[in-house]
Amino acid sequence: MKKSKKMVIGIISIAIVIIAAAGVHFSGLLSNDASAEPTIDEVLESSVNIEQITANLASNDYIRISFTIQTDSKKSKEELEKRDFQVKNLIIQQLAEMDSEQLKGKDGQLNLQEELKTKINELMQTGKIEKVYITESILQ
């Protein structure tokens, strides 16, 4: 009886060690994947192009501008594509509130990108916008 108890305790101990080692291994894999930056192919698969928009600015100037909007998943991309008209509307409204001085330089462009990201995220029901890229811009 003592030998069988020792054997059972030994088997249970080995099983616990194996389960603990597997848990540590898989948690390491999960944390590495979560922090990894997406590849360019993954970025392209989850991005939507907003073709050139011409909008009047508050300063009576106008801008021609295009964007690529990166989402967090293919499902989010699908939703964003369906919301194309709403996104264009938000962009035109945002630009109409700005003057040419606010859009000049790197800081002006970064500000516009962040404002659009925030406002478009308010529309989204599935996923979120990761980044808004300006792909073309002519300010006149």
User: pLDDT tens across 68-102, in order?
Assistant: 999 999 999 999 999 999 999 999 999 999 999 99
Instruction: Supply the mean pLDDT for the chain.
Output: 89
Strand 47-56 with 62-71, pairing: antiparallel
Asked if 69 and 90 touch (Cβ cutoff 8 Å), the reply is: no
Rounded CA-CA distance 33/111 in Å is 30
Overall average pLDDT of the 38-62 stretch:
95
Rounded CA-CA distance 134/111 in Å is 11
Would the pTM of this model clear 0.75, i.e. be above it? no
Q: What residue spans of the chain are helical by DSSP H?
A: 2-35, 40-45, 74-82, 84-96, 100-103, 105-123
End-to-end Cα spacing for the chain: 92
Overall average pLDDT of the 105-127 stretch:
96
Q: Mean pLDDT lowest for which of 25-29, 46-50, 87-91, 113-117? A: 25-29
